[in-house]
Structure 1
Amino acid sequence: MGTKQISRKVLLLIRAFFIFLFTYTAVSKFIYLMEFEAQLVRFPLLAPYNHFISITIPAIELTIACLWLFRATTYLAIYSSLVLLSIYTVYILYVLEFSNSIPCSCGGIISSLSWKGHLLMNMGFILQLILGLYLLKVLNKNRHNYRTT
């Protein structure tokens, strides 16, 4: 198997992973919408906007999951994922620095993680996105080279 094929397969795995991740987190938030909204109230900076945020975040997550479905929007999916995960990472850093009592609004296995665990997990996701961006650029560069020769 050549480097191009491996790169495509790794990129396909990254795509599938983020489709699952964003769909899972969005659906989980929608299913437990009242609980998610109630948890947002406990965060002083977000409390005034809890209803808006409780609807908007899962909608954004589903939108990003849809962006991952199409090759034409993969760059946008990667950058959107990076922005959302970076915002969430800043939120985690804030929680770690200023509070120990902010609840996690995650579901499933993720809810059992500590805030430091969340931070490490997000850093891993961000590294996957950076790898995906690199692979996408390499594949597109190779595609461009094949067209011009």
Structure 2
Amino acid sequence: MKNLIKIWPLGISLFFAVLFSYAAMSKATGFKNFRDQLEQSPGLQGYGEPLAYGVIALQTVSVILLCYRPLRFWGLWITFGTLAVFAGYIGGILLYSKNPPCTCIGLLEKMTWKDNLVLNIGLMITALTGIMTMKAGRSK
């Protein structure tokens, strides 16, 4: 169990570092498309460009923190917070929008909004697991 508490946060951090690296690169290489899709999203009209830059920057900062051991705990918290905001937005879209545009890029392109919400909640649980095991490892 002691080894699991040491290895689990590292594995989770590396998973999110790879995931967010891929996501940030996909968004950056298809920036115009990503920005335009954000502009079309309900409630985000007029904020597409700053949001696009912000999301890419936040994912990049998260990757850096997740890869640097002394800051990994904060990287997991930022990851959890980012996923919570995304899940909240998706939940709002599902509740209040009749025909939302897809802002997914790459692997998630084929997913529905409901699928994306379930995935985000699962990823939030994964990040929280990393936070809790890291905290448990620090207290011992």
Aligned residues of 1:29 and 1:106 also touching (Cα < 8 A): no
- AA of the residue aligned to 2:113: W
Aligned residues of 2:66 and 2:75 also touching (Cα < 8 A): yes
Question: What's the counterpart of residue 83 of structure 2?
Answer: 85
Shift of residue 30 of structure 1? 0.5
1: CA distance, partners of 2:16 / 2:88: 20
Could you tell me which runs of 5 or more consecutive residues in structure 2 were left unpaired when the two chains were aligned.
Answer: none
Could you tell me which runs of 5 or more consecutive residues in structure 1 were left unpaired when the two chains were aligned.
Answer: 143-149
Are residues 1:104 and 2:102 paired? Answer: yes
Question: What's the counterpart of residue 17 of structure 2?
Answer: 19
Aligned counterpart for 1:56 among listed residues 51, 54, 57: 54
Shift of residue 129 of structure 1? 1.1
Aligned residues of 1:25 and 1:106 also touching (Cα < 8 A): no
- AA of the residue aligned to 1:8: K
Question: What's the counterpart of residue 135 of structure 1?
Answer: 133
- AA of the residue aligned to 1:37: R
1: CA distance, partners of 2:54 / 2:126: 25
1: CA distance, partners of 2:17 / 2:97: 31
TM-score (norm 1): 0.88
Shift of residue 108 of structure 1? 2.2
CA deviation map 1:89-139 (0-9, x unaligned): 111001111124222222222111111111110111111111111110111
CA deviation map 1:9-31 (0-9, x unaligned): 22221011100111111111101
Task: Identify the structure with bigger relative contact order (alpha carbons < 8 Å, sequence gap 6+).
Answer: 2
2: CA distance, partners of 1:121 / 1:108: 15
Distance 1:44 1:115, change over 3 A: closer
**Identity across matched positions, percent:** 26
2: CA distance, partners of 1:69 / 1:136: 14
Divergent runs of 4+, >4 A? none
**What's the secondary structure of 2:52's corresponding residue?**
helix
Paired residues in the alignment total 140
